[in-house]
Structure 1
Amino acid sequence: MDKCEDVACHKAKKGFSETVQYVQLKSSKHFKELAMKINENTQSLYGLVGSPNTYEVGRLFYLAIPPSAYAETAERIHKYLLPEHGRGWVKIVVEKPFGRDLNSAKLLNSGLLKRFDESQIYRVDHYLGKTVVKMILPFRVINSNSYSQLWNADYIDRVEIVMKEELDVVGRTQFYNENGVVRDVMQNHLTELFMLTAMQLPSSGGVNISEIHELKYDLLKKVKLPKMDKILLGQYSTYNVEWLAENKETNKITDTPTFAATTFYVDSEMWRGVPFLFMSGKKLNEKTSYVRIVLKNRKFCLNHNAEFCKDDKQIVFYIGGKFGEFIAVSKDLPLPSFRSGWKKKTSTAFKDVFGQSTDEMHLFFPVEEVESYTELIKSIIKGARHMFVPSSILYQSWQVWSSLLEVSDSTRPRIYIGKDKDPERLDFYFDTLTDGLKFVIKEPSPNQTTST
């Protein structure tokens, strides 16, 4: 439950918390004891276990443990904790990081697949449970008549997929040092946003889970693998101080990136030549995440300062930040339709969206913002597998990012102070000659000296 604002909610929450039990699970003995405890609980709660008319619905195992323990835990669950009467489902839930690369992801997966089918494994990417993210594909399906003709390289200039964070990594440097920003959010969260935005629309209208997975996979297969020099990397200046303070057994500094930006291109008629910009970083000037679709400006003016010539066509899926969650569409574009649960607002606390006045945009807000994990737990129980990551997409995503990870693991990042101290250090632009990105401020060459 996200919030409790009435007596009924507090009563329900109290009733739930009173049913929660804690047990230790470190050895096979502990798993045996848990199995006995579950059997005692089901018998005392239902009293009819074993009756043909009453049976256990299922068991959900959420493995909030290090990935290195997945295989052994799956083995013990299979040996000791399956429903005795064989009529209940079993679902294994795991979270990122699911591997560090393609080979390690396959190794982790093999440990789970020895005992459980792919259909029983739910790989969580909590971004898929966010309110706005859940609306990206339905927005496209619901508005396909008016937007499909615009959703392609003829009309779209670029797509920006961004996740900015204000926080540093104090308290979790050991985890972060093993992963860095590319593995932490770009290979998973941002890639999921990319797929929802760029995949072909499902012929089923989005109700066939297998078709959705197949279309996502097909899109990843068409990604032109970025060249190894097409990624920008940065590290905030106090990162190594924090790393050494929390890991006293080492005195080696690290080049782990806390900022990265790169572009993807898709080898298809639909997206030929359209750059998909991925950017994420820690200790930046704000906390925000969004997908921004910028349409081409086909206007020409003798007076380039004219109001008419503004770059004013955009669709923004604003996933989170200081202004909450919303979807914004320029009024020059068709007025979109929405499913129930969304409302249009004409007055907001903010006055512009990426430089465009809110007076020039249609703004839609969710009636209720549901916490992403609440939504995902419901989806696991319902078996809504489109909200989770199948092994085929997991593998192909690692394949796409593999060349950039080689660069990320071997390149010295640009140092930046972070927050509002030196934002220009991370400013970059599209280099049309190379289809890549370049920092606006160049680093001095090693042999360059400063005269006094």
Structure 2
Amino acid sequence: MVSRVIPVDDFDLVIFGGTGDLARRKILPGLFRRFCAGQMPADARIIGAARSEMDSDGFRTLVRDAIIEFGGDDLSSRRELPDFLLQLHYVTTDARGDGGWKELAAQMRSGVVRAFYLSVGPGLFADIAERLTSFGLADAASRIVVEKPFGRDLETARALNHDLAKHFDESQIYRIDHYLGKETVQNLMAVRFGNILFEPLWNSQYIDHIQITVAETVGVGGRGGYYDKSGAMRDMVQNHLMQLLCLIAMEPPSKFDPDAVRDEKLKVIRALDDVETHHIVRGQYSAHGDMKSYRQDVENERSFTESFIALKLQLSNWRWAGTPFYLRTGKRMKARSSEITVVFKDPPHSIFGDEGGQHHNELSIQLQPNEGMTLDVTIKEPGPGGMRLVDVPLDMTFADALGPEADDVPDAYERLIMDVIRGNQTLFMRGDEVEAAWSWTDPLIEKWQARSDVPKPYDIGSNGPEDALMLMHRDGRRWRDIKG
């Protein structure tokens, strides 16, 4: 199998916040990988824009150091690095003032794709969008990329959408969620809609329930100030897990087209029922040995913000009526793992009696750390002694199935940035999607705030609070074990 790398059109990409953590860790090393893969045109230019006083040579040094630190051994020693650095430029820019904008405009070329990546806080989105148009940097063909959070509630999300819409058409706005750029997430659509094997079974008649887990071993780290005002619901469920839910539950779009796909995702969000109080479990990690508790990490001993949340959801539509979706995400958990598990119903009648035991098919889609899929099927255990059944996995771990080619699979940020240059919005959220998600999320948050709900403590390195396990046990089900 030979991997095809399709070059993109020539472009100027301006990264606002180009000296920041996200740019150094993800965006710039990712662009270098695309350069090494031959996907970037020889004349393409990447322009850093930030408050820091430096020149282009200083920016090149910063990027070189970032690639060495965060790019891994496969990047730090690449002979293409000097050529890549020559494509980098830098302009000191004041996002809320006039400083640097004329100089930045003078750097831009005509006749190429112009893209602007706002790797900054949402409080600067409106200021930068206004200056991009008033200083003549952006035109009707330009693209603007914005990072989450897309507001902290429906009101602020609407305000952000309104501010961006003053200067850019919806077709120019790319709201980036890196989860949607993962290879396995896109493979989910291929598996569902490209194989007759699965789609006829993808409904409440054959599926018992679906689990979505995003577990992290890290705490809040240096994000304590932000995180304590957001919590797991706003930080993870409203965007990342919501998007995974949409892809797993949506109807087949009429074609693989950005708006056709996003129309179907929007229908899923609008079909979500209100969540009953006893179907929500919130938790906070406790101190363990030398590891601090959540409250110590955020330096707020009276915090009621959740670092873990589990939910049981229902969709009121023809396909999924009666099939529960269980979502959970948390920090300081047993292992780092993002996984979707589709649990199929048992056969209506077992011909094997008691010797058959309890067996069912499960399709597990691993998003990280090892991307791939496994399908558990039931077979006869080899050997004499009767009909003993055992579950075995049909494994499609990318590293095993694709061999060395798996190492060339682009990182999520790489893929999404190249999609911006191509003008493909399929894997980006539309404004009405964001607002619909907040419309569903806000009432849940208001419920637990109104009753002064206190998150349940859970041990660091565990699967979360005991109440989250009971959320499944009450229904005669269990969470799939978290494995890194």
1:34 and 2:114 correspond: no
Counterpart for residue 257 of structure 2 = 208
* Bigger mean CA deviation after superposition, 159-168 or 297-306: 297-306
Gaps of 5+ in 2: 1-31, 34-70, 287-292, 380-389, 480-484
Q: Which letter maps to 1:330?
A: D
Pick the aligned partner of 1:74 from 115, 129, 132: 129
Are the counterparts in 2 of residues 230 and 436 from structure 1 also a CA contact under 8 Å? no
1:388 and 2:428 correspond: yes
SS of the aligned residue for 1:77 comes to helix
Counterpart for residue 120 of structure 1 = 172
Are the counterparts in 1 of residues 345 and 360 from structure 2 also a CA contact under 8 Å? no
1:22 and 2:96 correspond: no
2: distance between equivalents of 1:201 and 1:405?
Answer: 31
Counterpart for residue 161 of structure 1 = 212
Q: CA deviation at 1:362?
A: 4.1
Q: CA deviation at 1:214?
A: 1.0
* Bigger mean CA deviation after superposition, 230-239 or 11-20: 11-20
SS of the aligned residue for 2:472 comes to strand
2: distance between equivalents of 1:160 and 1:226?
Answer: 16
Counterpart for residue 15 of structure 2 = none
Counterpart for residue 146 of structure 2 = 94
2: distance between equivalents of 1:282 and 1:28?
Answer: 41
Counterpart for residue 47 of structure 2 = none
1: distance between equivalents of 2:211 and 2:230?
Answer: 23
SS of the aligned residue for 1:429 comes to helix
Pick the aligned partner of 1:260 from 309, 326, 338: 309
1: distance between equivalents of 2:477 and 2:336?
Answer: 25
SS of the aligned residue for 2:375 comes to strand
SS of the aligned residue for 1:29 comes to coil
Are the counterparts in 1 of residues 359 and 378 from structure 2 also a CA contact under 8 Å? no
Q: Which letter maps to 2:371?
A: E
Superposition pairs for residues 234-273 of structure 1, below 5 Å?
Answer: 234-237=283-286, 238-244=293-299, 253-273=302-322
Are the counterparts in 2 of residues 226 and 403 from structure 1 also a CA contact under 8 Å? no
User: Cα–Cα, structure 1 residues 68 and 4, in superposed 2: closer, same or farther, change >3 Å?
Assistant: closer
1: distance between equivalents of 2:463 and 2:319?
Answer: 40
Q: CA offsets, 1:95-132, max 9 Å, x none? A: 11101111110011111111111111100000000110
Counterpart for residue 118 of structure 2 = 63
Counterpart for residue 342 of structure 2 = 293
Pick the aligned partner of 2:457 from 411, 415, 422: 415
Q: CA deviation at 1:29?
A: 2.4
SS of the aligned residue for 1:297 comes to coil
1: distance between equivalents of 2:352 and 2:297?
Answer: 52
Q: CA offsets, 1:25-69, max 9 Å, x none? A: 222122122223x15xx4xxxxxxxxxxxx421211111111111
Are the counterparts in 1 of residues 330 and 464 from structure 2 also a CA contact under 8 Å? no
Superposition pairs for residues 328-339 of structure 1, below 5 Å?
Answer: 328-331=374-377
Are the counterparts in 1 of residues 192 and 199 from structure 2 also a CA contact under 8 Å? yes
Q: CA deviation at 1:254?
A: 0.9
Q: TM-score, normalised by structure 2?
A: 0.73
Counterpart for residue 179 of structure 1 = 230
Q: CA deviation at 1:212?
A: 1.0
User: Cα–Cα, structure 1 residues 421 and 199, in superposed 2: closer, same or farther, change >3 Å?
Assistant: closer
Counterpart for residue 219 of structure 1 = 268
Counterpart for residue 429 of structure 1 = 471
Q: TM-score, normalised by structure 1?
A: 0.78
Gaps of 5+ in 1: 43-54, 245-250, 334-355, 439-452
1:363 and 2:396 correspond: yes
Counterpart for residue 320 of structure 1 = 368
Are the counterparts in 2 of residues 327 and 364 from structure 1 also a CA contact under 8 Å? yes
* Identical-residue share of aligned pairs (%): 29
User: Cα–Cα, structure 1 residues 62 and 151, in superposed 2: closer, same or farther, change >3 Å?
Assistant: same
1: distance between equivalents of 2:216 and 2:160?
Answer: 29
Pick the aligned partner of 1:134 from 180, 186, 193: 186
Larger RCO of the pair (alpha carbons < 8 Å, separation 6+)? 1
2: distance between equivalents of 1:187 and 1:332?
Answer: 36
Q: CA deviation at 1:23?
A: 2.3
1: distance between equivalents of 2:339 and 2:464?
Answer: 23
Are the counterparts in 1 of residues 304 and 453 from structure 2 also a CA contact under 8 Å? yes
2: distance between equivalents of 1:7 and 1:149?
Answer: 44
SS of the aligned residue for 2:100 comes to helix
Are the counterparts in 1 of residues 275 and 313 from structure 2 also a CA contact under 8 Å? yes
Q: CA offsets, 1:396-435, max 9 Å, x none? A: 11112222222454421011231149875753333768x9
2: distance between equivalents of 1:436 and 1:79?
Answer: 57
1: distance between equivalents of 2:397 and 2:174?
Answer: 31
